[in-house]
Amino acid sequence: MKTRDILRLITNEAKYGKREWVLSYMMQTLLMVCVLICMVFFTRLPKTGDILLHAAFDSEEFGFQLSGYTRSDLDELTKMGFEDINFDMREPVGYLKNLEHIWWYKFRAVIQGNDIWNQEIDGYLMILLFCRIVFAVIGILLWVILLNSVSNSFRIKLKERERFVQMMYRLGCTKRTIFFLYYAFFALRALLVFFTAVVLSGITMHLLNGYMENVMYLKVDMPIIPGVLIAVMVLLQLMLMRRTMRKAWRESNEED
Amino acid sequence: MITCDKLSRKFEDASGELWAVRDVSLTVPDGTFLSVVGRSGSGKSTLLKMLGGLLSPTEGVVRIGETSLYEMKEDERADYRCHTIGFIFQDYFLEELYTVYQNLEIVMMIAKVPDAERKERIERALTQVGMLHKKDSKVKVLSGGEKQRVCIARAIVNEPQVLFADEPCGNLDYENGQTIMRLLREQCEQGKTVILITHNREDAMATDRIVTLQDGRIESDEDQRHS
């Protein structure tokens, strides 16, 4: 079938089940916005936490006890970003200006049987880590709900258009072409959801950045468009669509 | 010429296996108006689907000329359905929200007919069935008889060699049914092979040859032209 004819058929498909796809569009956009915001917070929380702690303690650097580390670990500690490292005290002490990767340093230290800690700010760091985990879990759960919603949309659509699909097959259209027709239809719908979600989440981030700068006098610079994340989610969603459509075809159509 | 040799189809379900069609051998020369009659469950629709490339047989062979239908690849079989066969269904299988023109154009799209040829071929097919004046009407506003005429137009628009009609008069009144039978006869007179599935003996009497199925087997094969 010619590309132009496929595009015409795709456009015609939008006439059917308008109520379903409008409601799905709204719900899936909302879910996608929440997923994007959760993922933005997950990735940016360490940087934002760093800015907030510096502002709260009015300090350019934080001192950490480096339990278990010796002079032989100097290079490693320097690479982490520690400065003014003093091994002459009962427990070595080092100063860190950037707290973005502190949990990664703490994790590596524990693996090696060491510890990096600061009694004053460890509590706050724990809260930031907990928040990060919560955002990640919520984001993943919302994404699972989103994928389920997309999957249900396929099934509803293919069930609704079962007769049309059978008609096309009987008139001599190959399964591959029918498949491609609905794959393209849902891909366009998904792209519409993604672009709307990117715009809405971008607006949200812009407003948040504005609030942080104008009200709290902090420049946090939350990213407007989390590009790589979207690319990965689109790819995974397209793969799910392909699998769901093949299964729905087998369930609802004649085999020859 | 369509031939089938010891064609059989088995279905399995929770209660066991059921042979819907068993050992059906048939030769249909070109230009024949053949009807397959039988009660509900006699295997008529199953036979039609196997002859039309929609359902693979459990046993046996279907040949179109010298080519075995089920030895073709799926794309080749789809191409066969598109260019060689026209289907007319009891339930029409038309798109209600599309116009008559658009319904016929779908077949043109599948057959990749150039845009320049489509209008002429569609209008010619609609003229043959007396529906040209309704080409821009949405299908949902048509009567049952009009819808079935559109189905025939859709079936012939690609100029196929064979027409399969599955109970085309099943949902129609007597007058409309007679109109449909007359249109099918006209197609046969133009050289097409027409295979009609029906449970109505009266419709079958208007054809050249009647094959009666019972319990999936051929009970009788009567040539009407010599009777």
Domain ranges of chain A: 3-54+132-250, 57-124
**Residues of B with Cβ-Cβ distance to A171 under 8 angstroms:** 81-82, 87, 106-107, 110, 154
Residue B35 domain boundaries = 2-216
How high is the pLDDT of residue A225?
Answer: 56
B79, B89, B98 member nearest A172 (Cβ): B79
Residue to substitute from B51, B109, B164, interface A, most A β-carbons within 10 A = B109
Instruction: Give a yes or no: residue B111 inside a domain.
Output: yes
Summarised one tens digit per residue, pLDDT across range A211-245 is 877 776 666 666 665 565 666 666 667 677 667 66
User: Cα-Cα-Cα-Cα dihedral of A194, A200, A204, A210, to 10°?
Assistant: 120
Instruction: Give a yes or no: residue B160 inside a domain.
Output: yes
AA identity, residue B53: G
**HSE of B10 in the Cβ direction (CA atoms, 13 Å)?**
7
How high is the pLDDT of residue A215?
Answer: 72
How high is the pLDDT of residue A36?
Answer: 87
Percent of chain A scoring above 90 in pLDDT? 23
Cα gap B227→B224, rounded to integer Å: 5
Interface of B with A in 153-172 (CB under 8 A): 154
How high is the pLDDT of residue B156?
Answer: 92
**Residues of A with Cβ-Cβ distance to B89 under 8 angstroms:** 170
B79 contact A CB<8A? yes
Structure tokens, A157 = 């659509």
pLDDT band at A256 (very low <50, low <70, confident <90, very high): very low
Contact (CB<8Å) B83/A170? no
**Residues of A with Cβ-Cβ distance to B54 under 8 angstroms:** 169-170, 254, 256
B113 contact A CB<8A? no
Assess contact for B9 and B54: CB atoms under 8 A. no
**Residues of A with Cβ-Cβ distance to B154 under 8 angstroms:** 171
Q: pTM here?
A: 0.76
B80 contact A CB<8A? yes
**Shortest CA gap A248–chain B (Å):** 19
What is the DSSP secondary structure assignment for residue B69, as one 8-state letter? G
Contact (CB<8Å) A16/B97? yes
The number of folded domains in chain B is: 1
Determine the topology of domain A57-124 in CATH: Alpha-Beta Plaits (3.30.70)
Contact (CB<8Å) A2/B112? yes
Instruction: Give a yes or no: residue B227 inside a domain.
Output: no
B127 contact A CB<8A? no
Nearest chain B Cα to A165, which residue?
Answer: B93
A163, A173, A176 member nearest B110 (Cβ): A173
Instruction: Give a yes or no: residue B224 inside a domain.
Output: no
Q: Give average pLDDT by consecutive 10-residue segment, chain B, 227 residues.
A: 89 82 90 90 88 88 86 86 88 90 94 91 93 94 92 92 90 87 90 90 89 89 74
> Above 90 in pLDDT, residue A204?
no
For the residues A195-206, what does the mean pLDDT come to?
86
Nearest chain A Cα to B86, which residue?
Answer: A171
Cα gap B42→B20, rounded to integer Å: 7
pLDDT band at A255 (very low <50, low <70, confident <90, very high): very low
How high is the pLDDT of residue A199?
Answer: 86
**Shortest CA gap B159–chain A (Å):** 13
Structure tokens, A14 = 């939008």
Contact (CB<8Å) A172/B111? yes
Instruction: Give a yes or no: residue B221 inside a domain.
Output: no
- DSSP alpha helix (H) spans, B3-136: 44-51, 74-83, 100-110, 115-129
Contact (CB<8Å) B97/A15? yes
Burial of A162 (0-12, 13-18, 19+ CB in 10 A): middle
A5, A254, A256 member nearest B109 (Cβ): A5
Nearest to A170 by CA among B9, B145, B51, B195: B51
**Shortest CA gap B175–chain A (Å):** 27
A 10 A CB-CB count for A10 gives 19
B55, B80, B87 member nearest A254 (Cβ): B55
B50 contact A CB<8A? no
How high is the pLDDT of residue A212?
Answer: 78
**Can you say how many angstroms the Cα of residue B46 is from the centroid of all Cα atoms in its chain?**
12
CATH code of the domain in which B208 resides: 3.40.50.300
Cα gap B197→B182, rounded to integer Å: 15
A163 contact B CB<8A? yes
For the residues A86-101, what does the mean pLDDT come to?
88
Which ipTM score applies to this complex? 0.85
Tell me the Cα Rg of chain A: 26
B14 contact A CB<8A? no
Sheet holding A62-67, edge to edge: A83-86, A93-96, A62-67, A115-117
Average pLDDT, chain A: 84
Contact (CB<8Å) A170/B81? yes
A79 contact B CB<8A? no
For the residues A170-182, what does the mean pLDDT come to?
87
**Residues of A with Cβ-Cβ distance to B98 under 8 angstroms:** 12
